[in-house]
């Protein structure tokens, strides 16, 4: 599965190199051209949850939610991991059924719009769909709660097409500790979590360390035989004290094991770099994470962030 990320990363490196010498408009033009030529996969989109709340036609442009096909086409996106998200509230409280229902909704997209969408579970399928101009829908499980302590259930989700699992969300669960929680009950992975990581390696499901605590991250790195991903994370360097983002040491350790971080562009998680940039490069900007509002679609910010990440790796 790692293959699918490579073109995306190449695109980012290329864009970051262009940034220094060209103006915004020229840069945008080149980025748009590249985006049309290269296979680009988003590693985390929350469409299934939106569809569960409100049924809408995703082949029509809208201002709602994170995704519709016309906007994806405009940006040159060729596929997106559908996030099969279950809230921490569903731990021991219906998570398995909820995840199954969300997977049904992704499959329904393919049934409703067969010319537009195909559920995909391998890099080859994604390449094939790209050549045919069909949008690929691989799937990732966000939060390990639906596993409900059962390796059989892990197999069930693999058979249903899940190709990465974010081990937890913002609360510790029975798989591992979360960066968003303070209880630290396992000090990393639980004994079941260790078993899950080993079995995911065997099955070929990517382990996603986004949302995990630092101790979870290092446990996973130690146990996993395959490189791991952070499907939607940021850099703590730019957001001091915000544990949801990864430290420089973690990024280096991730890279040493062949792993990949996919940077989210959610404004509230990137805000510190904006403040740092605007205040003449001060590295220790105040943490006003929740207070500041960043202009939408700040291309300069994305480029700056990308360049910084690759410099560090
Ligand atoms: Zn998330």
Residue-level pLDDT at 223: 98
Q: What is the mean pLDDT of residues 215-225?
A: 98
Lowest mean pLDDT among 148-152, 201-205, 309-313: 309-313
CA–CA separation, 161 and 180 (whole Å): 28
pLDDT greater than 90 at residue 176? yes
Please say whether the beta carbons of 190 and 175 come within 8 A. yes
Whole-number Å distance, alpha carbon 142 to ligand 1 midpoint, is 7
Distance 211 CA to ligand 1 centre (A): 7
Query: Is the pLDDT assigned to residue 87 strictly greater than 90?
Result: yes
SS3 153: helix
* Mean pLDDT (whole number) for 106-126: 97
Q: How far is the CA of 26 from the centre of ligand 1 (A)?
A: 33
Spacing, Cα 36 to ligand 1 middle (Å): 27
Q: Is the pLDDT of residue 9 over 60?
A: no
Q: What is the pLDDT of residues 236-268, one digit of tens each?
A: 988 888 899 999 999 999 999 999 999 987 766
> What average pLDDT does the chain have?
84
- Ligand 1 center–CA 169 separation, angstroms: 6
List domains and CATH numbers for the chain.
39-233 (3.20.20.140)
Residue 268: the pLDDT is 65
- For the stretch 166-175, pLDDT in tens is 999 999 999 9
Angle between helix axes 214-223 and 191-203 (nearest 10 degrees) is 50
Asked whether 245 and 269 are in contact (CB, 8 A), the reply is yes
Where on the phi/psi map is residue 142: left (φ > 0), alpha (ψ -120 to 50), or beta?
beta
Show the tokens assigned to 211: 């949302």
Highest averaged pLDDT of the listed ranges 3-17, 61-75, 177-191: 177-191
Helices within 43-89 (DSSP H only):
47-53, 69-75
Please state, in angstroms and as integers, the Cα–Cα distance from residue 177 to each residue in 43, 49, 170, 263, following that order: 22, 24, 9, 21
């Amino acid at each position: 599965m790692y293959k699918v990320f490579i073109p995306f990363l190449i695109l980012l490196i290329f864009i970051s190199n262009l940034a220094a010498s060209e103006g915004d408009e020229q840069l945008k033009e080149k980025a748009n051209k590249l985006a049309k030529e290269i296979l680009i996969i988003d590693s985390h989109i929350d469409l299934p949850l939106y569809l569960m709340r409100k049924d809408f036609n995703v082949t029509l442009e809208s201002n709602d939610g994170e995704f519709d096909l016309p906007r994806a086409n405009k940006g040159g996106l060729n596929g997106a991991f559908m996030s099969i998200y279950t809230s921490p509230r569903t731990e021991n409280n219906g998570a398995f059924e909820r995840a199954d229902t969300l997977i049904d909704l992704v499959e329904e997209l393919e049934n409703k719009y067969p010319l537009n969408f195909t559920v995909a579970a391998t890099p080859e399928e994604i390449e094939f769909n790209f050549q045919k101009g069909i949008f690929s829908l691989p799937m990732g499980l966000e939060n390990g709660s639906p596993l409900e302590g059962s390796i059989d259930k892990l197999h069930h989700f693999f058979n249903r097409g899940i190709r990465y699992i974010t081990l937890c969300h913002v609360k510790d669960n029975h798989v591992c500790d979360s960066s968003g929680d303070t209880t630290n009950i396992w000090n990393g992975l639980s004994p079941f979590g260790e078993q899950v990581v080993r079995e995911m390696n065997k099955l070929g499901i990517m382990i996603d360390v986004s949302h995990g605590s630092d101790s979870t991250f290092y446990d996973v790195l130690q146990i996993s035989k395959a490189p791991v991903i952070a499907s939607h994370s940021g850099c703590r360097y730019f957001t001091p004290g915000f544990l949801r983002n990864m430290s420089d040491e973690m990024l280096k350790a991730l890279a040493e094991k062949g792993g990949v971080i996919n940077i989210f562009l959610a404004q509230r998680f990137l805000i510190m770099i904006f403040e740092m940039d605007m205040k003449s490069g001060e590295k220790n900007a105040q943490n006003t994470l929740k207070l500041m509002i960043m202009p939408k679609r700040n291309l300069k910010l994305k480029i700056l962030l990308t360049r910084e990440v690759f410099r560090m790796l």
